[in-house]
Amino acid sequence: MKQLTDLKLKVWRQAGPEVDGYFESHTVDKVSDEASFLEMLDQLNERLIGEGKEAVVFDHDCREGICGTCSLMINGQAHGPQRATTTCQLHMRTFKSGDEIVIEPWRAAAFPIIKDLMVDRSSFDRIVEAGGFITAPTGGAPDANLILVPKPVADAAMDSAACIGCGACVAACPNGAASLFTGAKISHLNVLPQGQSERYKRAEAMVHAMDDQFGSCTNHGECSAACPKEISLDVIALMNSDFRKSKSKNRKALSRG
Amino acid sequence: MAQTITRPSGSREPVTGTALSPRKKRSFLADLYSTAVGKKYVMAISGIALMGFVLFHMIGNLKMYFGAYELNHYAEFLKELLYPLAPKGAVLWILRGGLLAMLVLHLHAAWSLTVMNRHARPVKYQSPRDYEVANFASRTMRYSGMIVLSFLIWHLLDLTFGVVNTVGADGTFVREEVYQNVVRSLGRWPIAAFYILANLLLGIHLRHGAWSIFQSLGWNNPRFNAWRWAFATGFAAVVVVGNVSFPIAVLLGIVKV
Amino acid sequence: MSTVLNAKVPAGALRDKWDNYKADAKLVNPNNKRKFKVIVVGTGLAGASAAATLAELGYQVDAFTFHDSARRAHSIAAQGGINAAKNYQGDGDSINRLFVDTIKGGDFRSRESNVHRLAQVSVDIIDQMVAQGVPFAREYGGMLDNRSFGGAQVSRTFYARGQTGQQLLLGAYQQLSRQIGLGGVRLFNRTELVDIVVIDGRCGGIVVRDLLTGEITSHAAHAVVMATGGYGNVYFLSTNAMNCNVTAAWRAHRRGAMFANPSFTQIHPTCIPQSDESQSKLTLMSESLRNDGRVWVPKNADDSRPAGQIPENERDYYLERLYPSYGNLAARDVSSRAAKRLVDKGHGVGPLKNGVNLDFSAAIARLGRKVVEERYGNLFQMYERIAGEDPYSTPMRIYPATHYTMGGLWVDYELGTTIPGLYAAGEANFSDHGANRLGASALMQGLADGYFVLPYTISNGLAPLLNKPVPSTDHPAFVQAETEARERFGAYLDIKGTRSPDWFHRELGKIIWDYCGMERTQQGLEKALSELPALYAEFKKDLRVTGSGENVNQTLEKAGRVDDFFQLGMLMCRDALDRQESCGAHFRSEYQTDDGEALRDDENFCHVSAYDWTGDPMAAELVKEPLVYETAHLATRSYK
C-alpha cells in the first residue's frame, strides 16, 4: 500500500439545475493508492463537512460496478482513464502524486444536472418504458425448457444485456447520442426467440423514444470505448437494421420469418 | 451555463403513462426521414451513390494516360449513353440530376443531424475532452465535407462550365477539349495543390463514410466486420491515389498537351 | 401486553397448504381491482415484480424508490444464481429436496409452511423469467444450464454469467417499466420513505421525503408493501450498496410492525479482504467461485512466502479436510467461521494477513484457462480491478463479510406484518431463510414473494375493503407523521456538532462487527449494549450535517439512516444476547460442540424472536413464535 500525495482536484459545483456552476479547487494531501476514486471523494467530503462546508453531491451506490449509479467525467473521460471500468471501480493506483484531476458531471440535454455532479438519467427509463420489455404477464409462462435458445444466441443476448445504464455512452458521445444504450437494450431482447413477437414494435418504439431526447450516432465509437461493460458497436447496427424493417415489414406475416 | 431541467421546479410529479401518447401517422418515407436513424440511412444511401460517382469519375479520368483522343472520346461517350435509344445527353442529364438530388439529400441530412446534435448537448464540457477512439476522420466529417463541397463547386466552374478557367488556345474555354482543359488547369501549381488537398480530404471523408455505411444501414455480421474497415480504407485509397496522380502527372510533364 | 403471533398457516398437509390457501383466498373482481390503491416501497426484485404484477392485475399501484431508477436496486449486485427445483439435470432434485435443504441450511429456524411454498413456486419463477427474456446460461442444445452451489448436493442453480441478479432485476424492471409506460404504475423516484401511518389499527399509507426538494408528503393506500431490502449496512463495512438502509422497515417497526430475528445476519465467506482503513465497502466475490476454486491457508502460521512458492504438502485445504462430503461447498456460515478461526490463529494471507486463498490453479489445469474464463471471467476481472492482482496466476484472497440479513419485519403466511394492510417482501421480511440463507436463494425468495405470493395474499386482504375509500391524507395521523418527519430532519441540521454521519456510522459498525458479527459472546454483547447507548447519545449531541434540507443533501439522508441503524443495532445485540444457543449464522462461543460447530438448543430456542416497539429499542418486548416441524426432522446440521 502506497500513499498518493498532493492531488489537485478541480470539482464541478452547481447548486441546482437552474443556476450557474463553476469549478472548485481542492488539494488532497494524502490518499492510499488502494482507495477507490469514490473513496477519495468520500474523504474530501469528510473534510468539507469538518470545515462546515457542504459535501460534494455525486451519485453512487453499489460500488462494485454493476448498479450503474456512479458517473463522472474524469479528466475528459467518462468513468476516468481505465477501460471497462466504472468510476467506483477505478482505483487511485491509476493516478500518481501531484496529478491534477478534473471532475465534471455528464453533460447532455437529456441528462440535466440536479446538483454538483449528480445528473438525472430518467431519459433512459423513458426509452425502456416505450418498448424495452417482453410482454409476459405473470403466471402464463410455459416451461422454461420449451423455449430453446442456442448457446451463441444466449451469449449474444447476455453481451448486450450486460449494459448497466450508467450513461457513459451518452456522456462520451460527441453528439450526446444514446444509440449504444438503446441498441444494447434492443439487441438483448431482439435476438432471443422470446423477443420475436414484439421485435419490430420494440425497435420502432424505442428508437422513437430515443430520438425525442438524444443526439444522433455518427459512428465515432467513443460510446463503446467508454462503456464499462464494453458493449460492441454491433448493437447499433442491429438497432438500425431492425428499425428500418420495423417501418417496412408486413407485421401480419411476422411468423413466416 | 445552467443546464435546464425539463420539469418545473416545486412539487415533482410521478412518472406514469409515458408510452401512451400515440405518434403522428406519416407516410413511410416521411416517417423514416423524421428520425435520426432514418436520416442516417439517407446519409448512407446518398453516400453510396456519391461514392459510385467518385469511383467512376476517377476511372474515366485514367483515360488521360492514353492521350487526348481517348479522354475526349470518353467524354463524348458519356453524352451518348444509351443513344440512340435515348436522345443524346439525356441519360447523362438524368444521372446528373440524380447525383445532384443525392448531394442535396446528403447535405440536408447532415445539416439537420448537426442541428439535432447541438441541441443534444447545449452546454459543452467545461474541461478538455480526451477522446479515446474517435479519430481525425470521424471528428472532421463536417469540415472535410464542406471543403470537398467547395472544391466540387470550384471544380465544376473550372472544368465543366469553364467560368473560372478560361485558358483555351485563344484564351477561352473549349468544352470539347476535356484533355487540354485538364492539363492547362492542373499545370499551374496553386490549382494543383488545392486539387491535391481537396482529394486528400475527400479520402479522409470517404474512409469514415464508407465504414459508416455498414453501421448506418445495419449491415453487420461479426464474421465479416473486419472487412468493413479494409473496404473503407481500400476504397478511399484507390480514389485518392487515382485522383491525386493526375495533377502530379501533369506537373511532372508525364501528361502534357 | 401479551401479544400472540398468528402466522395464519393454512390447514392441510404441508404440500397442500399453498393450494388450499389459493383455493380459499378471496378474490377481487377484475372491474373492482382498479378501485384499490396499493403502495409498493422499493423496486428491487420483490418490489418491482410485485408492483408490475399487481398493476397487470388492474390495481392502481404507486411505486417508490430512493434511486433515480428502479434498475439500480441492490438486487442487481447478486452474482451467482437463482435456485429452482426444476431437476433439469436429472440429479435427484425435487421440491421436497429444495425445501429440506433450505430448512436445513437455515438451521431449523424458519417456518416450514413458508419455505415449502417457496420451493413450490421456485419452478414458476424460472419459467416466468425466461419468458421475460432473461438470458440464462444455456447448453449447446439450447436447454438451460445449471451449476451447483453451497449447501446443496444437486445442480439446481440457474445463472446468467456472474450477473444473475442484474439480469433478473432487469427482467422485473422491464415488466415494471412496461406498466409505468402503460399508466398502471406511478413511479416516484428519488423519494425515500420516512414514516408509515396507521389509522384505526390499519396501515393507511406512508410519508415520504423527496430527496431532490426535501419536500415531505403523504400517500394513502388500501395496502402497503415494504420491499425495502436488508440492513447489513448496520456494520458499516458490508457488501451492501452504500444506500441500503433499514429506515423503511424500522419506521414500520416503530409504528407497530414486529421485527423478527434481528441478530440473524449472514456473513458471506467469499469477499475481498479489507485493504485499508478508509475503505467504504467490501466487495463480494460470488460463492459460485467455490465450485472450482479450492480454499487453503499455509499450514505454518508464520509462512509469508507468496502462494506459488508454498509446496502442496505445506498447504491446508481446510474445508476439504473438515467437511469431506461438501468440501469447498460447505454452507456459508460454516465456511466463514472456519476462515475466521484460521485467520485468528495467524494463518491469514495477504499484506494484512486478513484473508485465505481461493486457488484456481487446479481448475485451470483441469478445464483449461478458457473454460475458467468463460465461467468466471467477469469476477476475475472485478477482482483484478480491486485487488490489483491477477487471479489466473495467483490465488484470490478472500475473507468473510456481512452480506445478507435473514432477520426483518415479522410476517405471517400471507407476508402480512403485524400491522394489518402492511406487507413485507424479499429481504425486508424475516421469513424463509431461518438462521442462515443458502446461496442463490435470495433472488428466489424476492421473486417468489413479488410475483407469486403477494398478488394472491393482497387480493385476499383487499377483498373485504371493497368500496371503502383510502384514508384522506389530511387525517390527523398523516399530519402528525409529516410534522414529526419534518422536525426529525430539521433536528439533524440543528445539532451543529462536530462529527459527520459517516463517522458515527463507522464507529457504530465497529461495535456491531466486533460483538455481534461472526462470533458472539455474552460478555461482548453486554459490552456492546453498554457502549451503543452512549455513542447514540453522542450522535444526538455532536452530529454535524452541513447544507440545507431544501435540496439534495446526501449528508442529511445519511444522518436519518444512521439514526435508525443505531436503534436497530441495539435491538440486534439484545436479540443475540437473548438467544443462548448457536444456530446458523448466529454463533455464540459459549454454545459449541467439541469440534467447534454450532450447538443448537431446540428445547428452549426453537422459535422466532419477534420484537414489539415500546419506545426504546433497549426495552423492546420479546414475543415468541414457536416453530413446529411436522415434515422436516429436527437434526443436527452437518456438512461433514
Quote the ipTM score. Answer: 0.98
Mean pLDDT of A191-197: 97
The catalytically annotated residue of C111, C161, C332, C520 is C332
> Which stretch of A15-29, C323-337, C422-436 has the lowest confidence by average pLDDT?
C323-337
Split at pLDDT 50, 70, 90, the class of C277 is confident
Count CB atoms within 10 A of the CB of residue A177. Answer: 31
A129 touches chain C (CB under 8 A): yes
DSSP summary character for residue C74: G
pLDDT attached to residue B169 = 61
Of C136, C141, C278, the CB nearest to A32: C278
Query: DSSP secondary-structure letter at C80?
Result: S
Q: Which of residues 86-105 of A touch C (CB under 8 A)?
A: 89, 91, 93
In chain A, where the domains are located: 3-115, 121-256
Range A25-46 burial, b when 16+ CB lie within 10 A, else e: ebebeebbbbbbbbbbbbbbbb
C34 touches chain B (CB under 8 A): no
Among C43, C71, C188, C208, most B C-beta atoms within 10 A, so best to mutate, is C188
- Give dist(CA A162, CA C451) in Å, integer: 23
Per-residue pLDDT tens over the stretch C341-355 = 899 999 999 988 999
Name the closest residue on chain B to residue A79, using Cα atoms. Answer: B130
* C477-502 average pLDDT score: 98
Q: Are C432 and C260 in contact (CB under 8 A)?
A: no
- Say yes or no to pLDDT of B168 above 70: no
Nearest to C433 by CA among C400, C408, C413: C408
pLDDT exceeds cutoff 90 at C148: no
Residue C326 is predicted with a pLDDT of 86
List of chains touching A (3+ CB pairs within 8 A): B, C
Q: What is the pLDDT of residue C31?
A: 95
Mean pLDDT of chain B: 91
Facing C182 at nearest CB: one of B10, B12, B19? B19
What's the pLDDT band for C79 if we cut at 50, 70, 90? Answer: confident
* H or E stretch at A3: strand A3-13
Distance CA C548, CA C496 (A): 12
- The x, y and z cell numbers of residue B67, run together, are 492521350
Structural domain includes residue B54: yes
- Which residues from C are below 8 Å from A136, CB to CB? 128, 131-133, 175
pLDDT for position C329? 87
B96-122 pLDDT per residue, tens:
999 999 999 999 999 999 999 999 999
Cα-based angle A13, A166, C248 (whole degrees, multiple of 5): 80
pLDDT at C596 over 90: no
Among B118, B130, B141, B121, CA closest to B202:
B141
pLDDT, mean of residues C600-624: 97
Report pLDDT for C2: 55
Closest CA to A115 of B3, C66, B8: B3
pLDDT of res. A10: 98
Instruction: Please give the mean pLDDT across all residues of chain A.
Output: 96
Residue of chain C nearest B14, judged by CA positions: C188
Q: Active-site residue C332, yes or no?
A: yes
Contacts of B138 in chain A (CB under 8 A): 218-221
Is residue C174 within 8 angstroms of chain A, CB to CB? Answer: yes
pLDDT category of residue C368 using cuts at 50, 70 and 90: very high
- C403 and C396 Cβ atoms separated by less than 8 Å: no
Provide residues of B within 8 Å CB-CB of chain C. Answer: 9-12, 14-20
Structural domain for B78, as ranges: 36-116+139-251
Cβ–Cβ gap C62/B11 under 8 Å: no
Residues of chain B with C-beta less than 8 angstroms from the C-beta of C187: 14-16
The number of distinct structural domains making up chain B is: 1
Contact criterion met (CB < 8 Å) for A147 and C131: yes
Least confident among C146-160, C388-402, C466-480: C146-160
Quick: pLDDT tens for C217-254: 999 999 999 999 999 999 999 999 999 999 999 999 99
> With pLDDT > 90 as the criterion, what percentage of chain B qualifies?
73
pLDDT of residue B6: 44
Rounded to whole angstroms, how far apart are CA atoms A107 and A90? 20
Q: CA of B57, closest CA in chain A: separation in Å? A: 27
Judged by CB atoms closer than 8 Å, whether chains meet at B121 and A109 is answered as yes
DSSP state of C194: E
For A34-67, the pLDDT digits (tens) are 999 999 999 999 999 999 999 999 999 999 999 9
Question: For residue B167, is it within any domain?
Answer: yes
Residue C108 scores a pLDDT above 70: yes
Nearest alpha carbon to residue C474 among C284, C205, C137: C205
The reply to whether B20 falls in a domain is no
Domains A3-115 and A121-256 share a fold: no
CA distance C78 to C46: 14
Nearest neighbour of B3 by CB, restricted to A23, A107, A238: A107
User: Which of chain B's residues have a Cβ under 8 Å away from the Cβ of C180?
Assistant: 15-18
Please state the φ and ψ torsions of residue A214, each to the nearest 5 degrees: -120, 175
Average pLDDT over residues B169-186: 83
φ, ψ for residue C537 (rounded to 5)? -65, -40
Is pLDDT above 60 for B9? no
Q: Give the confidence band of C149 by pLDDT, cuts at 50, 70, 90.
A: confident
Interchain contact, B117 vs A175, CB within 8 Å = yes
Residue C181 has pLDDT above 80, yes or no: yes
- CATH numbers and ranges of domains, chain C: 268-402 (3.90.700.10), 476-626 (1.20.58.100)
How many whole angstroms separate alpha carbon C263 and alpha carbon C620? 14
* Chain B residues with CB-CB distance to C185 below 8 A: 16
CATH code for the domain defined by A121-256: 1.10.1060.10
pLDDT surpassing 50 at residue B53: yes
- Chain CA centroid to CA C373, Å: 29
User: At residue B5, does pLDDT exceed 50?
Assistant: no
- A125: CB partners within 8 A, 6+ apart: B15, C69, C70, C71, C177, C180
C571: closest CA among C262, C266, C260?
Answer: C262
Question: Does C214 reach chain B within 8 Å, measured CB to CB?
Answer: no
Q: How many residues does chain A have?
A: 257
Cβ distance B4 to A112 less than 8 Å, yes or no, reads yes
CB contact under 8 Å between A221 and B133, yes or no, is: yes
CA distance C283 to C9: 38
In this prediction, residue B167 carries a pLDDT of 65
What is the nearest CA distance from A224 to chain B, expressed in angstroms? Answer: 9
Residue C268, H or E segment = strand C265-271
Q: What is the pLDDT of residue C638?
A: 74
Q: How far is A33 from chain C (nearest CA, A)?
A: 10
End-to-end CA, chain A: 59
Q: What is the band of A257 on the pLDDT scale with cuts at 50, 70, 90?
A: low
Shortest distance, CA B243 to any CA of chain A (angstroms): 27
* Cβ contacts of B212 on chain A, cutoff 8 Å: 218-219
Question: Chain A within 8 Å of B63 (Cβ-Cβ)?
Answer: no
Domain A3-115: give its CATH architecture: Roll (3.10)
Chain C touched by A199 (CB under 8 Å)? no
Here the cell at position C236 is: 458499516
Average pLDDT over residues C573-590: 96
B19/C186 Cβ within 8 A: no
Nearest to B185 by CA among B165, B156, B200: B165
Residue A253 predicted with pLDDT over 70:
yes
Q: Which residue has the higher pLDDT, B165 or C247?
A: C247
Burial category of B104 from C-beta neighbours within 10 Å (exposed 0-12, middle 13-18, buried 19 and up): exposed
**Chain C residue whose CA is closest to A145:** C143
Interchain pair B17, C212: CB under 8 A: no
Q: Is the pLDDT of residue B177 over 90?
A: no
Is B11 in Cβ contact with C183 (below 8 Å)? no
Please indicate whether, in this complex, the C-beta atoms of C182 and B20 are within 8 angstroms of each other.
yes
In terms of Cα–Cα distance, which of A201, A195, A178 is closest to A247?
A201
Tens digits of residue pLDDT in C515-566 = 999 999 999 999 999 999 999 999 999 999 999 999 999 999 999 999 999 9
Task: Please report which confidence band the pLDDT of residue C1 belongs to, taking 50, 70 and 90 as the band edges.
Answer: very low
**Using CA atoms, how far apart are residues C73 and A68, in angstroms rounded to an integer?**
10
User: Which residues of chain C make contact with B20, given a CB cutoff of 8 A?
Assistant: 181-183
- Whether B3 is covered by a domain: the verdict is no
pLDDT at B7 over 80: no
C550 close to B (CB below 8 A) = no
Q: Residue B11 is nearest to which of C178, C180, C215, comparing CB atoms?
A: C215
Confidence grade of residue B166 (pLDDT, cut at 50, 70, 90)? low
Contact flag A53-C135 (C-beta cutoff 8 Å): no
Tell me whether C181 touches chain A (CB under 8 Å): yes
Query: Which chain B residues are closer than 8 Å to A183 by Cβ?
Result: none
The 3-class secondary structure across B130-162, one letter per residue, is CCCCCCHHHHCHHHHHHHHHHHHHHHHHHHHCC
